[in-house]
Amino acid sequence: MLRSLFLLALIFICSCTDTTSSESTFVEDSDIDGFILVRASGSDGFVGTDDNSAKANERPKMKTTFSYDFSMGRHEVTCGEFRKVMKEELGSKSPVQKCENDSLPIVNVTYFDAIVYANALSKKEKRDTAYTYTTKTFDSDGHCTSIINLALNTGANAYRLPTEAEWIFAANTSWDLNKSWNADNSDYKTHKVCKKASGSKDFCDMAGNVMEWVNDWLDYPQDTIMDNYVGPYEGNSLGERIVKGGSFRNPKSAISLFSRGDVYTVTSSTKADYVGFRLAFGKIPSPSWLNGSGLMTESNINMILSPDAIKKLTGTYKTKLVFRNDITERLVYIDYSLTKTKIVEFYDTVSAYHPDISPDGKYVAYCTKPEGVPGKSSIYVRELNSNNRTIHKLDVEAAAIPRWQVSSNGDTTIVYVTSQQSNKDEAQFKSNSTWQVSFRDETFGTPRKIIDGAYHGGVSVDRKIAVTGAQLLRTKFAYGRTRLTNSSKDSIWYNKEQACNVSLSKDSTRRTLFLDFASTTGKKFVGKSYHTHERMFIADSTGKLIKSVGAPSKKTFDHTEWVSKNFVIASLTNANEVHEKIALVNIKDSSTTELVEGDELWHPSMWFAARPVPDTTIDQDSAGTYLVANDVWSSVIMRYKMELLWRYIDSMEVALMGSSRTLYSLSPYLLKDDFFAVNLAHAPNSIYATKDYLNKYIYKNAKKLKYIVLSIDIDFWWKTDGKGSDNFFAVNAPNYPGYAYDANHDYWAKGIPAGLLDATENGLGVEDAHKYTTDKGRLLGIPCQSWGETAEVEADSTIFDKNPELLENSMKALKSILKTAASKKIKVVGVIFPQNPKYKKTGAFGRHGMKRSTAKEVISQIKNLTKEYPNFVLLDENKMGDHDYSNSLAYDNDHLCSEATYKITARVDSVLKTLK
């Protein structure tokens, strides 16, 4: 108790000042060399803050508790340590790292690199490993860019990344911003670890020097208490990760215990010259996570198959799986088309059974009672989107076991029954009925009765057959040209032996799928004995058995449902009748592929998109593959830029190019009355990346292009081109099958193949794709905050004094763009975007540096280019800080927000009109 009280006092002091005592009662020497033992057991900590000025994803302050101790590295992993271990682990394929000194912290490493290192160090010392996975992917420089089915084994006594809660608790024992390497004293470079340490039990450089990876996904803290907290159970739509502690680039005012991110989006594949990591060691007993709804969860569900493997099975990434987690009684959803494929558990106030995915893959319908159980059920529909919690209830007295259909007139409908209970009693069965109701624009129509009898196994679209099971396989069939009526023929198939989990095929074959109880009829058909639910059976439209598929060894089937002509989805149960896996069964070859594993996984429903006949003239494995699993945000942006490019290539008159400043604020929609524009800006960006995008793709294919609008980001002109730069086309693109395929075909200068757009559209993506495509490439949802209290400078403003060639090369790149555009009779508008007006009180032009005196000279030179290149116009919206963009129109120090879109796009529109 005293320890907890002392820690609370310590945390309070830390929240009010920049220092803490270096003599903490919570740390002592560890038996692991270079580590400090943190005595956290019985103590409290925190994640987040209640400071209203903090970012939304840093609020509120969430209390954490510990029932265990752990060890943590005194300093970040150094270059020497990293290179030695990775060399032993990967040999010649180890990451390429350029370090001036072995004692510098390792940087330019991905989250996945840190995972590989942690496991390698554990193996080197003959310990258990903390991380499990199926496959790893490395880029040409040896960096790990993707790990499929990555999971943390919290019970392993092994090296791992610290959790955010552990990192904050440890940092709080020796937090001192006055002893940090930050933008005020670092000379914008890393320094040897522990140069500013004051005691042997002090953690070094947790504030400043380099930011540090922690184990957690990024999500919002909650106003709750979390015991042994290990972070969100799954990542958000971008798969964002947390980095802690600030770096040599940040001013002291921007470094805090609660801060969790960077200027740019941070994902598992991100790497930067100011991001490294340190390790923790030890088990985490009884861990707790937050799920996507901000609720504590201890459920354990893991994906077995990657999106690439799913594509090989179904022919498309656009595959979705929904099932019931019987432990939590909620629906779980997986979208395999996402680069950050994750397990989403929907929060609900009712128990959800028998989900069925709509024909377009957008919605799921479900009910509140399972097959064979008495009681009244209700039906609900919700969108398959982790960000949308809207639920639509069918307003009828009783409705159960929904099944989507597209009717013969094209309406999307749901077929349902008024009772889900056993059909053994014929009178009771016929006292219930089967109905259909339309669902359009998230609204139910008027329900219409189809027939008497609760045929919850399905009704064919042509209304020729209806089936049901639990406990008898009852059917109703309409002969000739008639459709189902109450007088249609009733039958009980399967020799009146018990059957359940009945499902009518979704195609025109009218096949019926079901399970049995090791019946005489079944044994006779397969020619051998078997156990209950060990085999699934298929009957034709007359009730004749035509196929049986056995379950994998020591498993049985349950909850079988048709997916498509040749696929069935099912739960797999073990000898203890635990529904531990979900599997896809191929009816043609009788193979079973496991998809997901957990504790109790019920009632699976699977959907995959029907695609047009593939274009055989292109390589389906390469064409349009601009994104891979677990990819970074910059690649997500480019993936949608490529989709927009191929979609509008024959119509585009204006290409909006450049950095995130263009991406956030120039709207093609607002230009539509006068110009057909597409926003092709991306981040990170440089003048070299813009030049390459134009030369490789746009000039060669956009035949109607008349205007280019590009951001003139002179504070970025310290950037370089080629290897080691952030030029996407020079560094990243060659690692993707799609870009490499384009390059091998001269970027389609001789003609774009017909199937390229379809291939691109069907590639991996993100859940909130509409943000990237709705306004033809302008990124939606940029909130209006402010320019910021402090004009932060994150690069060395004097770099051009030491390296004047950087300016010269950037100017040459701009001139090259103007020259090529002029040769093609294309006019160019250069835009200098507004930044925080408080930069007027600093020595810097903007967020990314450049002395103000240098900036004035450079802008003057750019203005003079209009004489040499009459096709060029400069629109200076910054005016050295004397602009008219108010605080309410800003997102941060150097970006406008969504509200500013109207103002700045109108000004660009006015300039373009003068060029007509």
Residue 528 CB: number of other CB atoms within 10 A?
Answer: 8
Contact (CB, 8 A) for 448 and 437: yes
Q: Is the dihedral of CA 214, 216, 222, 226 positive or negative?
A: negative
State the pLDDT confidence band at 616, using cuts at 50, 70 and 90. Answer: confident
Regarding whether 211 and 337 lie in a shared domain, the answer is no
Regarding whether 238 and 177 lie in a shared domain, the answer is yes
- Identify the domain boundary among 290, 309, 328: 290
298, part of any domain: no
pLDDT of 741 strictly over 90: yes
Domain count, the chain: 3
Rounded to whole angstroms, how far apart are CA atoms 678 and 561? 43
3-class SS shares of the chain: helix, strand, coil, % to 5: 25, 25, 50
Regarding whether 189 and 335 lie in a shared domain, the answer is no
Q: How far is CA 417 from CA 227, 420, 439, in A?
A: 44, 7, 16
Residue 851 CB: number of other CB atoms within 10 A?
Answer: 17
CATH of the domain at 197: 3.90.1580.10
Q: Supply φ then ψ for residue 423, to 5 degrees.
A: -105, 15
Dump the DSSP string for 162-189.
PPHHHHHHHHTTS-BGGGSB-TTTSTTS
Report the run of H or E that residue 663 belongs to, with start and end: helix 660-665
Tell me which of 315-319, 373-377, 639-643, 782-786 is least confident. 373-377
Q: Which two tokens stand for residue 178?
A: 């006055």
DSSP 153: -
pLDDT of 512 strictly over 70: yes
pLDDT of 575 strictly over 90: no
Regarding whether 642 and 590 lie in a shared domain, the answer is no
The one-letter code for the residue type at 1 is M
Contact (CB, 8 A) for 245 and 308: no
Burial of 636 (0-12, 13-18, 19+ CB in 10 A): buried
463-485 pLDDT, tens digit per residue, is: 999 999 988 999 999 999 899 99
Regarding whether 801 and 691 lie in a shared domain, the answer is yes
At which residue do the structure tokens 């030890």 appear? 282
Rounded to whole angstroms, how far apart are CA atoms 323 and 714? 52
Paired sense of beta strands 288-290 and 296-297, if any: antiparallel
- Identify the domain boundary among 290, 310, 331: 290
613, part of any domain: no
Domain that holds residue 206: 2-76+153-290
Regarding whether 682 and 590 lie in a shared domain, the answer is no
Rounded to whole angstroms, how far apart are CA atoms 902 and 885? 12
State the pLDDT confidence band at 235, using cuts at 50, 70 and 90. Answer: confident
Whether omega for the bond prior to residue 837 falls within 30 degrees of 0, making it cis, is: no
Rounded to whole angstroms, how far apart are CA atoms 507 and 495? 25
CATH of the domain at 367: 2.120.10.30
Contact (CB, 8 A) for 541 and 465: yes
Regarding whether 251 and 354 lie in a shared domain, the answer is no
Rounded to whole angstroms, how far apart are CA atoms 277 and 243? 9
Structure confidence at residue 295 (pLDDT): 52
Regarding whether 586 and 662 lie in a shared domain, the answer is no
121-151 pLDDT, tens digit per residue, is: 999 999 999 999 988 989 888 999 999 889 9
What's the whole-number average pLDDT of the chain?
A: 92
Q: How far is CA 79 from CA 340, 721, 916, in A?
A: 30, 25, 56
pLDDT of 568 strictly over 70: yes
Rounded to whole angstroms, how far apart are CA atoms 878 and 866? 19
851-874 pLDDT, tens digit per residue, is: 999 999 999 999 999 999 999 999
- Identify the domain boundary among 574, 608, 642: 608
Regarding whether 741 and 688 lie in a shared domain, the answer is yes
284-313 pLDDT, tens digit per residue, is: 999 998 875 555 555 578 999 989 999 999
Regarding whether 361 and 221 lie in a shared domain, the answer is no
The one-letter code for the residue type at 609 is A
The one-letter code for the residue type at 228 is N
Contact (CB, 8 A) for 289 and 232: yes
Average pLDDT over residues 226-231: 94
List the beta strands (DSSP E) in 719-772: none
113, part of any domain: no
847, part of any domain: yes
Rounded to whole angstroms, how far apart are CA atoms 615 and 647? 16
Contact (CB, 8 A) for 56 and 77: no
796, part of any domain: yes
pLDDT of 676 strictly over 50: yes
Q: Kindly give, in sequence order, each residue whose CB lies less than 8 Å from that of residue 9, ignoring residues fewer than 6 positions away.
A: none
CATH of the domain at 890: 3.40.50.1110
296, part of any domain: no
Structure confidence at residue 6 (pLDDT): 34
Of 95 and 178, the structure prediction assigns the larger pLDDT to 178
Regarding whether 365 and 223 lie in a shared domain, the answer is no
Paired sense of beta strands 288-290 and 229-232, if any: parallel
Q: How far is CA 411 from CA 365, 448, 606, in A?
A: 16, 13, 21
pLDDT of 51 strictly over 50: yes
Rounded to whole angstroms, how far apart are CA atoms 707 and 675? 9
DSSP 223: S
470, part of any domain: yes
108, part of any domain: no
Residues forming a β-bridge with 405: 413
Burial of 523 (0-12, 13-18, 19+ CB in 10 A): middle
